Amino acid sequence: MSKVKYYYDPDTLSYRKIEPKKSKRYRNVLLFVLGSALFGLLGLIILLNTRWVNTPKELSLEREVRNYELQFDILSKKMQQMEQVLANIEDRDNNIYRLYFEANPIPEEQRRAGFGGINRYKSLEGFNNSEIIIDATKRLDIIQKQMVIQSKSLDEIAKLAEEKEKLLAAIPAIQPINNEDLTRMASGYGWRSDPFTKARKMHWGMDFTAPRGTPIYASGDGKITRADNKSSGYGKHIRIDHGYGYISLYGHLSKYNVTVGQKVKRGDLIGFVGSTGRSEAPHLHYEIFKDGERINPINFYYGSLTAEEFENMLKHANQENQSLD
């Protein structure tokens, strides 16, 4: 309601009402309506843009983001645990397994290498969360690569272990006759007096005294390459090829229990003690060849003897007596 205005009329000496013009009244009404609408709109815009009043959709999005952040933290901790376990496996791999099988350790740089060249993470760039997503992706890529390298290393170890097992089974590592009390050692490897000429002569093996017919055993896995008396001096003798450059020889036998080409295991009965060939009395003459050279068999029994027994055998073997040849 507009105010009623008056003016003083000097002619009548009285106050008279001013009648407002019609056009002015309309203008005022219009201004009022426009002003109210403008203020209302402004208020609404401000209301919608304030932080403390969110739409339901915004509220649910915000909750979702908070949940992502929480889950991401948990995943990140799990990744950290994986990295630690993997590091521990790698450490054991380098310092125990690979060391044991005499393989070179895999260098740290090789195990931890990321991916060079083109930027694999370009598609992840340009977002608010780009940094954490790229970081996590890189970590997972490295873990994945580490696992591949570790897996390959274990394949290699498995192969080496199998080889080592074969090698250990092949090496002529036990005494070729039953000699529990070690009383059968008659003469060792080294310079000995020849039983026939009495001259000092190199004795290339070990002699074990035993009655004729005493069983002789293969000292390691291998294949029979000789079972004949065509080598000078050895009489009836057997040779076993163990692979890896090792050959064992058993001389002066009375009888064979194997034939050429036969495969034998350590401990298999291959023949019997005799005195054929250049021999003074029934005994087994035993030799080991490595890459064509005759070496001292005594160094191979160590694993099957106690330290004391080995000492005892060493003493026996080193006596510079007469060999039985």
Shortest spacing between CB 278 and Zn ion, in angstroms: 9
Measure the CA–CA gap between 167 and 170, rounded to whole angstroms.
5
Q: Which tokens hold the place of 285?
A: 């003459």
Q: What is the DSSP letter of 306?
A: -
Nearer Cβ to Zn ion (239/285):
285
Cβ 323 to Zn ion shortest distance, Å = 5
E strands present in the chain: 6-9, 14-17, 185-187, 190-193, 200-203, 206-209, 215-217, 222-228, 237-243, 246-251, 253-256, 263-264, 269-273, 283-290, 293-295
The smaller minimum CB distance to Zn ion, of residues 111 and 252, is found at: 252
Best CA proximity match to 222, nearest among 237, 239, 205, 204: 239
Give dist(CA 248, CA 220) in Å, integer.
9
Binding site for Zn ion (CB under 5 A): 207, 285, 323, 325
* In the complex, least distance from residue 286 CB atom to Zn ion, rounded to whole angstroms: 8
CB of 203 to Zn ion, least distance (A): 6
**Nearest residue (CB) to Zn ion, 186 versus 258:** 186
Q: Which is nearer to Zn ion, 207 or 221 (CB)?
A: 207
* Dist. CA 188–CA 322, nearest whole Å: 10
| Residue placing its CB nearer to Zn ion in the complex, 214 or 323 | 323
Nearest distance, CB of residue 156 and Zn ion, angstroms: 43
Smaller CB separation from Zn ion, 70 or 202: 202
Are the beta carbons of 239 and 272 closer than 8 angstroms? no
Least distance from Zn ion to the Cβ atom of residue 265, Å: 25
Please, what is the minimum distance in Å from the beta carbon of residue 222 to Zn ion? 21
Q: Which is nearer to Zn ion, 262 or 275 (CB)?
A: 275
CA distance 67 to 276: 90
If you search the block for the tokens 């065509």, which residue do you land on?
Answer: 230
Smallest distance, Zn ion to C-beta of residue 293, A: 17
Burial class, 207, CB count within 10 angstroms (exposed 0-12 / middle 13-18 / buried 19+): buried
Q: What six digits make up the tokens of 30?
A: 């219009």
Residue closer to Zn ion, measured from CB, 120 or 294: 294
Residue 215 CB-density burial (10 A; 0-12 exposed, 13-18 middle, 19+ buried):
middle
Residue entry with tokens 């105010």? 3
Residue 283: CB minimum distance to Zn ion, A: 7
> Encoding tokens for residue 14?
């009285």
Task: Report the residue closest to Zn ion, judged by CB.
Answer: 285
Structure tokens at 289: 């060849």
Q: Return the number of the residue (105 or 195) whose C-beta is nearest Zn ion.
A: 195
Give me the residues paired with residue 17 across strands: 6
